[in-house]
Amino acid sequence: MFAKICASSLLVSALCLQVTAHALISPGLGFPANPTRSNVQRPSSKNPCGNIDIASQISTSTPVIADANGEFQANVTSFNGGKDGSREVTAKVDPTGQGKNFQTIQVITNGNGDPASAGTEKITAKLPEGIQCENNDCLVQVETTAGFGNCIVVKQQGGDGNGNDPVRTPAAGDSATGDSTPSNTNAGGNAGNCTDGGNSKVGGNNSRVAEDAGATGYLPTGKGFTRRVSGRHMARLLADLRYRGEEAVEIAK
């Protein structure tokens, strides 16, 4: 009878230990916004994200965002202290998002493998250089040294796989901000292309000499006119250019 009681006590203790030895990583694949002990999973080779359907959850789960270097952070929460409540983890990534092609990744900042009590710590890990995940959603499996864990979705910023967006090389007269770099700018050149950047315009695409034409001895008239000036008047004429917007001036040497 005593032996049966002892055996029963040992069984209850083991079951209690199994129940309390819980930890999870959030925001987790298929988890609610505020996960609890009941959401804890045990990843395995057959079920790398625990009892979670990857295909139906990867596009809807809240992701963590990787920075330009591929680094990201996640929370590790344990529900008891000691080694069974370890918050020390290892991590793997599957760029296909299917849970079948994992590769180990670097954990930069790890948690406590033997905490005195339950609690939460942040871990920092890093995606491999040059990796490109399907739809920029990397499936990352995080597992504690006690065997608990789950998957999280790590969102790349796009572009080259390191969180960098593609860089567009500006064409002549263009720039990355949508404004322009100067083009065809020289004294006596095409006055339609100005040092203010690209094709200057105020109210439209065309410019007109508005005033002080008498100082050069030339008074242009009419729409779309062409007027030749001598070199000695060119500097003054260019300095006196004002832009109104609807009639074109083409000044040739």
Considering 155, 175, 198, which residue would you say is the last residue of a domain?
A: 155
Higher pLDDT, 171 or 22: 22
- Give me the pLDDT at residue 165, please: 45
- Give me the pLDDT at residue 152, please: 98
Cα 22 from Cα 24, distance rounded (Å): 7
Where in the sequence is the domain holding 252, given as residue range(s)?
A: 183-253
Residue 103 has pLDDT above 90, yes or no: yes
pLDDT digits (tens, 9 = 90+) for 55-98: 999 999 999 999 999 999 999 999 999 999 999 999 999 999 99
Residue 134 has pLDDT above 70, yes or no: yes
Mean pLDDT calculated for residue range 208-230: 43
pLDDT digits (tens, 9 = 90+) for 187-208: 444 444 434 444 434 444 443 4
- Give me the pLDDT at residue 110, please: 98
- Give me the pLDDT at residue 234, please: 52
In terms of domains, do 151 and 28 share one? yes
**Which residues lie closer than 8 Å to 76 by C-beta, 6 or more apart?**
23, 24, 25, 87, 89, 111, 120, 121, 122, 123, 142, 144
Pick from 2-11, 27-36, 38-47, 94-103: least confident? 2-11
Query: How confident is the prediction for the chain on average, in pLDDT?
Result: 72
In terms of domains, do 40 and 98 share one? yes
Residue 168: inside a domain:
no
Residue 120 has pLDDT above 70, yes or no: yes
- How many separate domains does the chain show? 2
Pick from 67-76, 105-114, 131-140, 208-217: least confident? 208-217
DSSP code for 81:
-
Higher pLDDT, 222 or 95: 95
What CATH number is associated with residue 50? 2.70.50
Considering 155, 173, 198, which residue would you say is the last residue of a domain?
A: 155
Residue 13: inside a domain:
no
Find the distance separating the first CA and the last CA of the chain, reported in whole Å: 116
In terms of domains, do 127 and 193 share one? no
- Give me the pLDDT at residue 238, please: 52
In terms of domains, do 235 and 134 share one? no
In terms of domains, do 41 and 95 share one? yes
Residue 56: inside a domain:
yes
Considering only CA atoms, give the Rg of the chain: 34
Residue 14: inside a domain:
no
Mean pLDDT calculated for residue range 33-56: 95
In terms of domains, do 141 and 69 share one? yes
- Give me the pLDDT at residue 157, please: 85
In terms of domains, do 47 and 115 share one? yes
In terms of domains, do 110 and 206 share one? no
